[in-house]
Amino acid sequence: MSFRVRVLVLVVFLVAISTAATAWLTVRQATRELTESVAATQRDITTVVDELAAYGRTHGTWHGVATTVGDLSDRLGQRLRLVTEAGAVLADSDVLRGGTARPVNGAPVAVDPRPDTPTLDGSSAELRHGMARKAATAYEDGWRYAACLTRAGIGVRLTTDESGMPTFAALGDSDRARTCRPQPREATDDALNFATNAQLCTERRDDRTCLAKLLDRRIGELAPAPLRLYLGAVDEAPFALSGSSIAVAAGAVVLAAGLTALLLSRRVVRPISALTTAAARLGSGDLAERVPVTGRDEIAGLAKEFNRMAASLADSEERQRRLIADVAHELRTPLANLRGYLEALADGVLRPDPELFASLLDEALLQQRIVDDLQDLALAEAGALAYHRGRVDLAELVEVCRTAHAAVADTARVSLTVSADSPVEVEADPDRLRQVIGNLVRNAIAATPAGGRVAIDSRVVGQLAIVEVRDTGRGIAPEDLPHVFDRLWRADNARARSGGGSGLGLAIAWRIVTDHGGTIQVASTVGQGTRVTVSLPAVGILDNGAPR
């Protein structure tokens, strides 16, 4: 995933999380506050209904209920309006406060002052009949008494016995309360009607249920009339979320988003800033500049690549510096020799003879070889070295190389032998392969003392064609082995030129073998000799390793 897409995903993720968190917190807060508001309203309704119903049961009348309505409105902070079923207003908290009654809002709630029906547990139908008549009379007389006390301004207390029978008592002023005591009275039509219906209930099997229903209906007729209660008004503000809670939720989301953005900036901007600073220093010539690598993302990858680039530039700079110094050193000696001989000839110090001209020609050829090797190496490293590929038999090629270097080996008194499987064919440029093997053979002869041996082997191993050049020379130290393919590198610190080499042969050989899809390896033991192995893909080989 690209860095741009990654940042985009992070930003979208941050926005999505922030939006989701805000929505979740808002919905959660709204749900909680709405639930609390509904619960509080329901509690208020229950409280008002219970207290108003208790007032009606206790006082037997709605006279004086306005005071209770006003107290409830002040205590609960609610607008209350109490009306009869016919629509007559008994009390309105707006009016009680001296204002104008506002239009009501919502459906009314019923206020039913009827008490629970007493328990009729007599052992006989006649006893239950008498208990029902007694209960009806008690409620009728009690509510008359309570209503009288209420109109007289005397408080009323309602108690019930175990069977649910009511008892009304006055609170204070005994003399005035005595005048409200119910007097003996003749049975009314309603009472006779109740007695007649109760007598009918005793003749049924379910007289207990019949009497309870009859008594419940009778008590309902005697109790104060049910009322309708309205809470609130049309101009009251509807439910609204708490501004503080929303502010806290929004603040939490903003804080979380800010922290996430800070972490993102530290994770992204800081490494980029470090890379920018390092790039500026690198551009000004400080090739030792590096950046710290942390993590495993694209920024860390960019930092690794920057460090690798800086190391490559530093290495290239160092190699270029060494190359210039080495080329200058390589050309200085033969040019100095040529100049000295030519000045001596010009001054008449030396006489021109064939030996002198041969020496000057050798110096010129050495310079030409150095220039040619440098050109070949430059072309190879640029990928512009021309190859004319064809089938090449390595057995024939190594024999040609032995013949070409036999005179040099004889002069150095070094044994040069060839061992080859035939045929060992590869797809390659024969001239370039001859150049590679020739360089290896020359180096081996130059490193081998008189009486030593140099062997050239070619063979097939699996799907590979192998050419191996071994010598019994002085060998290469282990610490020098990693540098054998470097340009202008030589194992001897004195940089002797007795062999006439340019120091570029192994570098060119490595590049040519690599371009042919092969490998070249060096193994050496100091004092025992060196083995250079060239491996190339073989052609004309069956899967079992046998020639076609």
- Compute the Cα dihedral for 55, 56, 59, 63 and give only its sign: positive
Per-residue confidence (pLDDT) for residue 495, from 0 to 100: 42
For 309-384, CATH gives: 1.10.287.130
In terms of Cβ atoms closer than 10 Å to its own Cβ (0-12, 13-18, 19+), residue 297 is middle
* Domain at 387-537: CATH architecture: 2-Layer Sandwich (3.30)
Per-residue confidence (pLDDT) for residue 454, from 0 to 100: 95
pLDDT tens for each residue of 76-104: 888 899 999 888 999 999 999 888 888 88
Where do the structural domains in the chain lie, given as residue ranges?
1-113+239-286, 125-223, 309-384, 387-537
Confidence check: pLDDT of 499 > 50: no
According to DSSP, the residues that pair with 460 across neighbouring strands are 465
Per-residue confidence (pLDDT) for residue 33, from 0 to 100: 74
- C-beta separation of 329 from 37 below 8 A: no
- C-beta separation of 152 from 162 below 8 A: no
Sequence-ordered alpha helix ranges (H) in 284-294: none
pLDDT tens for each residue of 368-412: 877 877 777 777 767 777 888 999 999 899 999 999 999 999 999
Q: Per mean pLDDT, which range of 233-237, 428-432, 535-539 is the poorest?
A: 233-237
Per-residue confidence (pLDDT) for residue 471, from 0 to 100: 95
Sequence-ordered alpha helix ranges (H) in 152-240: 174-178, 189-201, 207-222
Taking the chain, what is the end-to-end CA distance rounded to the nearest angstrom? 49
The most confident of 11-15, 274-278, 415-419, by mean pLDDT: 415-419
Longest dimension (CA), the chain: 178
Average pLDDT over the chain, rounded to whole? 81
**Between these two residues, 271 and 95, which has the higher pLDDT value?**
95
Q: Per mean pLDDT, which range of 104-118, 280-294, 331-345, 479-493 is the poorest?
A: 479-493
Confidence check: pLDDT of 299 > 80: no
Per-residue confidence (pLDDT) for residue 379, from 0 to 100: 76
pLDDT tens for each residue of 120-152: 777 677 777 778 778 888 888 888 888 888 888
* 546: confidence class by pLDDT, cuts 50, 70, 90: low
One-letter amino acid identity for 461? V
pLDDT tens for each residue of 393-402: 998 999 999 9
* 415: confidence class by pLDDT, cuts 50, 70, 90: very high
Residue 498: count of CB within 10 angstroms of its CB: 7
Confidence check: pLDDT of 273 > 90: no
